[in-house]
Structure 1
Amino acid sequence: MPPKRGTKRATSPDEETKSRPSVKRSKSSTNSDVAGYPWTNKGIPDTLNFTPSEEKIRISAWNGFNRYIEAEDADIIILTETKVNDRPTDPLLAKKYPHQYWNIAAKKGYDSSANIASGAPRLDEDDVKGRLVTLEFEKCWVIGTYVPNAGEGLKNMDRKVAWQVAFEAHLRNLDAIKPVIWAGDLNVAPTAKDLRNDKSNWNKTAGYTEQETSAFKRVLAGPPAEPLTKAAITESTEIAHITSVEGEATEVTKTVKANVESSAQGRAGPMIDIWRRLHPDDEHYTYFSYRFNARLKGMGWRIDHFVASERFFPKVAACEIRNEIWGASDHCPIVMDFEGPL
């Protein structure tokens, strides 16, 4: 059970790092690429050496770039919170990843996202929008998202909830057709194991509230016994439209409406938090604030995830947090290897 809400003033992830100076160690470390835990480096190591994915397919999700990308050698990269105003034109990146789909936010310097791939997906222009990029491959969908943050004092919670309702309808419609891989900065710590100071943040800090964790659990549980009706989905898109900011939720509604006619939604199934399924007892994190020596104190959150259709899980070979890759971003990459083809 989540801790009950107390009367203590709400604190941000930055502020909560002040409270506990000692380092909390993981119960077990399963990342074969790094010896020791916790990781306290404040920059990317000079030497990067990751175990090759061999004949498997590797996807990486992060909101940092460059030297790590070369070392990881992933087949697909999901980037979030890019904040770029124009599509990057790095020649080395273009050579390795000729298929790039950059979602540039309408507001300059705002939160954008991108999916880049070495192999060509099927793509419709409407699939690159808002805070998500949806790529269709022969065997599965790959969705990269930067989920809205509920904001300081939870001031943007209504907007986030509306976005989640619309996105879940989109996810279910795709899952009814073929398996889905959903990854990126999902801005939710699903359980008390997924952040350092769970009790002081419960129902006070964005990313760890009853509304957000329940929404994530609902996605994992699968669709309700009765498929969502066209009227219900239309209603959710209208809510998202009303509460949209900078066109984010509005763009999601277009995707939902385009898929409403799918009669196969009843075949959509449960989803799995891949890293947590493979690491049931570990307390590793993907986000450490730059402030208050959060990294050194082990004050982190696991808010970057790979979520996939349950029927896809047998193909998964590994899912790891690249704990040592921190500094260029306040997030660490998370990678997943799985049996192909895409």
Structure 2
Amino acid sequence: MKFVSWNVNGLRACLKKGFEETFRTLDADFFCIQETKMQPGQADFAPEGYTEYIYSADKKGYSGTAIWARTPALSVRYGLEEDLHNHEGRAITLEYPDFYLVNLYVPNSQNELARIDYRMQWEDDLRRYLQALDAQKPVILCGDLNVAHTEIDLKNPGPNRGAAGFSDQERGKLDELLAAGFTDTFRHLHPDATGIYSWWSMRFRARERNAGWRIDYFLVSNRLAPQIRKADILMDILGSDHCPVTLELDL
């Protein structure tokens, strides 16, 4: 079973940059996107053979997530348990007989960590939510988690230490999530790979220089780790400041 996750930095903009061709070429069972920046019906995209799940932010043109699934879900949940997290379109959970699929766009801590307190609350509430799901059936989690976990997950760790996306607080929360029973699928298969990133700043020719960050992930419940077949980062695919990440599981 094949899963794709991609922060498209605006679906309407990405549709003008080859999104439909990429969607067809990747031929996924589940295609998850983040940062849709749209309300339902604002994009002319309805792939045949897929059920669409869209969760938009209250604020127009901001945030948002979506999933296209070949198999309709048994149930769908938009948001987390706490209402304060449910106004920016950041989480979709689909239930299937043998697993939950959770698509996330994690809040950015912003310059000088202006939003770090909210981010820490999000992280704690998200972890509890995922653990409750995991107690029922395995979880497949994907999305833009807005954190580079270790020094090999970004080109320039030294100058960025303490900055949004590479603060001790954010990295520590990912440590806690993994310790709670989840596996980073890319690192499971490629523990020492360097120079492989999923996001590049639009400034300073960062993508051309491959001065990137790995902040887009697939995590799975530990008991699914033996079923991981492939976990890739498709750095050659353009259309956004992020690139797609993929996961193939034997399910």
TM-score normalised by structure 1 residue count: 0.66
123, 128, 133: which one pairs with 1:169?
A: 128
CA contact (8 A) 1:181 1:306 kept: yes
Which residue is 2:167 aligned to? 209
Which residue is 1:85 aligned to? 39
- Residue type at the aligned position of 2:179: A
CA offsets per residue over residues 88-146 of structure 1, 9 Å max, x none? 5646x33131x111001100101001111011111245568541000001100000000
Task: Sort the Cα spacing of 1:274 and 1:124 in 2 relative to 1 into closer, same or farther, 3 A.
Answer: closer
Task: Sort the Cα spacing of 1:80 and 1:148 in 2 relative to 1 into closer, same or farther, 3 A.
Answer: same
- Residue type at the aligned position of 1:58: K
SS of the counterpart of 2:48? Answer: helix
93, 104, 119: which one pairs with 1:160?
A: 119
% identity of equivalent residues: 36
Which residue is 1:319 aligned to? 231
1:85, distance to aligned residue in structure 2 (A): 2.3
Confirm or deny that 1:58 pairs with 2:16: no
1:87, distance to aligned residue in structure 2 (A): 3.3
CA–CA distance in 2 between the matches of 1:108 and 1:90? 17
Q: What is the CA RMSD across the aligned residues, in angstroms?
A: 1.4
TM-score normalised by structure 2 residue count: 0.89
1:281, distance to aligned residue in structure 2 (A): 1.1
Structure 1: tracts of 5 or more residues without a match: 1-56, 223-269
1:63, distance to aligned residue in structure 2 (A): 2.1
**Structure with larger Rg:** 1
CA–CA distance in 1 between the matches of 2:66 and 2:43? 13
After superposing on structure 2, the runs of 4+ consecutive aligned residues of structure 1 that deviate more than 6 Å are none
Which residue is 1:291 aligned to? 203
SS of the counterpart of 1:79? Answer: strand
Confirm or deny that 1:72 pairs with 2:26: yes
CA–CA distance in 2 between the matches of 1:74 and 1:88? 23
CA–CA distance in 2 between the matches of 1:209 and 1:125? 30
CA contact (8 A) 1:87 1:102 kept: no
Task: Sort the Cα spacing of 1:314 and 1:102 in 2 relative to 1 into closer, same or farther, 3 A.
Answer: same
Q: Which has the higher contact order (CA 8 A, sep 6+)?
A: 1
230, 237, 242: which one pairs with 1:331?
A: 242
- Residue type at the aligned position of 1:192: E
Task: Sort the Cα spacing of 1:294 and 1:125 in 2 relative to 1 into closer, same or farther, 3 A.
Answer: closer
Structure 2: tracts of 5 or more residues without a match: 9-18, 81-85
CA–CA distance in 2 between the matches of 1:126 and 1:182? 14
